[in-house]
Amino acid sequence: MRAFIAIDLPLEIKDHLGRIEEKLKASAADVKWVSPANIHLTLKFLGEIDAQKKASLIRIIEDTAKDKNAFSLRLSSAGAFPNIKYPRVIWIGIDEGSAEVLKIAEELEEKIEKIGIPKETREFSSHITIGRVKSGLHRLKLTEGIEEINKELGEKLLELPAGKITLFKSTLSPKGPAYEPLHETSLQKIVSQ
Query: Rounded to 5 degrees, what are φ and ψ at 8?
Result: -75, 160
Note if 40 is an active site residue: yes
Which is the catalytic residue, given 16, 127, 138, 183?
Answer: 127
Note if 16 is an active site residue: no
Helices marked H in the chain: 11-25, 51-65, 98-113, 139-155
Q: Which amino acid is at 109?
A: E
Let me know: does 177 contact 3? Beta carbons within 8 Å.
no
Q: What is the DSSP letter of 190?
A: P
Which is the catalytic residue, given 16, 40, 138, 183?
Answer: 40
Let me know: does 36 contact 25? Beta carbons within 8 Å.
no
Q: What is the DSSP letter of 36?
A: G
What's the rounded Cα separation, in Å, for the pair 82 and 84? 7
Residues annotated as catalytic (active site), given as ranges = 40, 127
